[in-house]
Each structure stands twice: as structure tokens, then as C-alpha cells.
Structure 1
Amino acid sequence: MMRSDFELLYALCLLLAMVAIAVISIVLFCFAYFRVDDISNGLTNSKFFLSRKSMMGSDPFSRFFIILSVGVVFAFPSRYLKSGELDIDDYKNFPAGLMVMIKFTYLSGLLVGLLLFVIVGFGKWVGWVN
């Protein structure tokens, strides 16, 4: 069955969104396995990290949870600074390059995830997705 140009463009957008999610997940796993010492050293006084650090094992799920927790705190720091979960000295002294990379990756994941919901919702609305 021949597909229209719009259906092919839709499928391409859906594929690109899934590839972006896979790439973002791989980058987050790299942070969780190879930069965890830098993250741990930078957040020695922050309550949110100290409470979650004890749950971190060598398995990918707990490490992914930790890096997502760090990502949300760096993406929206004012909320965590007000509540006392993020220590102001940890925030100021955390390696700037690493913080920017974690924040960018986390916010990119949020954006692509939201975009994926919009793409699938549009496909359902048009009738291309059952």
C-alpha cells in the first residue's frame, strides 16, 4: 500500500524522536557510570543526593534513577534550594561543565518525551495510529 508524503513524514518524525530518546538514554547512562564519582564529590552536602546515594548499586536502574534525580534538581534548582534539598555551596561549587551537560541532557529528554506524546496524539487524531 502506497503511503502519502505526510504519513512518511510522520513516520520519520516518530523514528527520529525514538532515536533521540535512545541517544539521550545512552548519554545519561554514561553519566551514571563514568561521571558518578564527580557527581558524588560535587554533592556531598545535598540532602536529596545523600538520601538517594544509599540506594545506588551497580545495576543500571538505580544509577539511571540517581542521574535523573540529579538532572531534575539541576534543571529546576530554585525549588530544591528553597526546600533545602540542594545545598547552596554544592550548587555553586559543582563543576560547571558537568552541570550544563546534565541539565541539557535532562531537559532535552523532557522535550523529546513531550514531543513524542504530541506526535503519537496527532497520529491518533488523524487516524494513522490505532
Structure 2
Amino acid sequence: MSLNVVDKLLLSVALIDLAGIFLWIGGCLHLAYTKMDLMLEHLKNCSAIMTRAPLRHAGPWGKLLLVGGIAGIVTFPGFYLKRGELSSEDLAHFPASLKRKLAVLHWSVIGLLLVMVSFGVAVKSGSV
């Protein structure tokens, strides 16, 4: 069976996207196992995180969920600040380099998931 150029291109993009998801999971787990105490210490007055803090003892999946929650709160703090679930002092004292890493992780997973969803829609509609 021979693939034409378009099929090869789409397969390449899909494989790169899947590899990106695995790299993202690895990056999140690396942060979870190396920087979790630091992140939780800086967000100790954040009720949105402290309710999720027990997830750190739930194995890799729990750590992944907790890092994802922290990344979402650091990337889009306005929602949590309005609801009073995030302290502006905690956010101001959060390390800038770690905040940047979490924001990059959050935006990259949004992009990777958008690529996956667009592939799913294209396959479902029959255009691919």
C-alpha cells in the first residue's frame, strides 16, 4: 500500500502531535516531581489549589492533574482572582521562571489538543 504526499503529510503531523503530547506529559511529571513543594509553598493561600493539594499523593496521574491545575491558574489568573480563590500576593511572589514554564506548558497543550480535535473533525467529516 502506497501513501500519497497528502497522506504522508497528515500522518507526519499526527505523529508529531502525539509525540508532543507525550513530551508534554513528561515535562509536567518532571515539574511535579521536582518543583511541587515549591509551587504549593508559593500558592498556600490559594483555595483552588489547596483543595487539589491531596492529589500530590495520588501517584503520577494525581501529580499530573495538580500541575495542570496550577498551570491553568497561573496562566489565567483573572478568573480565580475574581472569585477569591487566588491570592494576588501569592501570584506576585510566584517565581517568574516557573510561572513562564507553566504558561508555556499550558499553551502548548491547548495547541496540541486543538490539532488533535481538528484531525478528529476532519476524519469524521470525511474530508481526510
TM-score, normalisation: structure 1 = 0.92
Partner SS state of residue 55, structure 1: helix
Q: RMSD of the alignment, in Å? A: 1.4
Going from structure 1 to structure 2, the CA distance change for 1:33 and 1:58 (only over 3 Å counts) comes to farther
Give the Cα separation in 2 of the matches to 1:65 and 1:16.
23
Match of 2:7 in 1: 7
Partner of 2:20: 20
Across the two proteins, how many residue pairs are aligned to each other? 128
Ranked by relative contact order (alpha carbons within 8 Å, sequence separation 6 or more), the top structure is: 1
Report 1:37-76 matches (<5 A): 37-57=37-57, 59-76=59-76
Alignment match, 2:104: 104
* TM-score using structure 2 length: 0.93
In the aligned structure 1, how far is the partner of 2:29 from the partner of 2:55?
Answer: 16
Report the residue type matching 2:10 in the other structure.
Answer: Y
Q: In structure 2, what is the Cα distance between the partners aligned to 1:7 and 1:67?
A: 36
Paired letter, 1:45: N
Percent identical residues: 21
Q: Which residue does the alignment assign to 1:117? A: 117
- One-letter identity of the residue aligned with 1:97: S
